[in-house]
Amino acid sequence: MSVPGSTTHRPEMDNSPSQSGQLAGVGVADLRLSPRVAQQVFRAVLDALSRPGRTVQLPRELPGSGRRVARIGTVSCPSALLPLLALADLDTPFHVLGAEPGAVATATSAPVTAVEQARLIAALRPMTRAELAAAHVGTAAAPETAALVTLAVPALDGGPALRLTGPGTGDGATFAPTGLPDGWAGDRAEFPTGYDLLLVDPDGRCAGIPRSTHIEES
């Protein structure tokens, strides 16, 4: 498992399963994470991907702002955008589904690219099976170039049960998120290639499924 981008970047977050257009009223300054918040996000992402299926909390408040992160109905950014904001840099092309990427590109100095070429993908609305399958999976010689896909989902439980095995799962973990397209697990590339997946619910809780994890669907 590898995380693209740097750890010293740019806050604010609201997250619903479908967040198309929610960046319309957000300025570039709102998208610049402080180094402290970026480090908190980076640690949460690493923790989630190193313990597949286990829930980790993303930052919920910006220091000194008095405003909550991951709050539906506030003038803020989606929680599912936080990992991209924390990790994106000049050398990390990104793609956003469900919002215009201009302010994100200005805030992070990262280049916008097609979903197939992106190292960081933030899906602020449900992804189709084809979109998820199109994420860059790296190569056998350079698997670390694969994408990190962050997907906003309605909930991290209550969906079809997934049995996760592999590094970080111990004797195995059962995980039942909602909001993933039917058949997506069967499209995953064979390890060591494959994208890393991070799921984020409306309260800013996240859980990871790295490319090293084996999935059995119920």
Pick out the chain residues at pLDDT < 50: 6-21, 63-75
Q: Flag whether 12 is in a domain.
A: no
Q: Which tens digits make up the pLDDT trace of 100-134? A: 899 899 999 999 999 999 999 999 999 999 999 99
Q: Flag whether 15 is in a domain.
A: no
- State which amino acid sits at residue 64: G
pLDDT at 27 (0 to 100): 63
Nearest to residue 217, comparing CAs of 159, 170, 166? Answer: 159
Q: Flag whether 85 is in a domain.
A: yes
pLDDT at 84 (0 to 100): 96
pLDDT at 70 (0 to 100): 39
Which CATH number fits the domain that encloses residue 78? Answer: 3.40.50.11310
Give the separation between CA 99 and CA 79, rounded to whole angstroms: 13
Which tokens hold the place of 91?
């050398």
Residue 130 belongs to domain spanning: 28-217
The total number of structural domains in the chain stands at 1
Give the separation between CA 129 and CA 181, rounded to whole angstroms: 5
- Give yes or no for a contact between 33 and 86, defined as CB atoms under 8 angstroms apart: yes
Question: pTM (2 decimals)?
Answer: 0.85
pLDDT at 72 (0 to 100): 31
Give the separation between CA 170 and CA 125, rounded to whole angstroms: 32
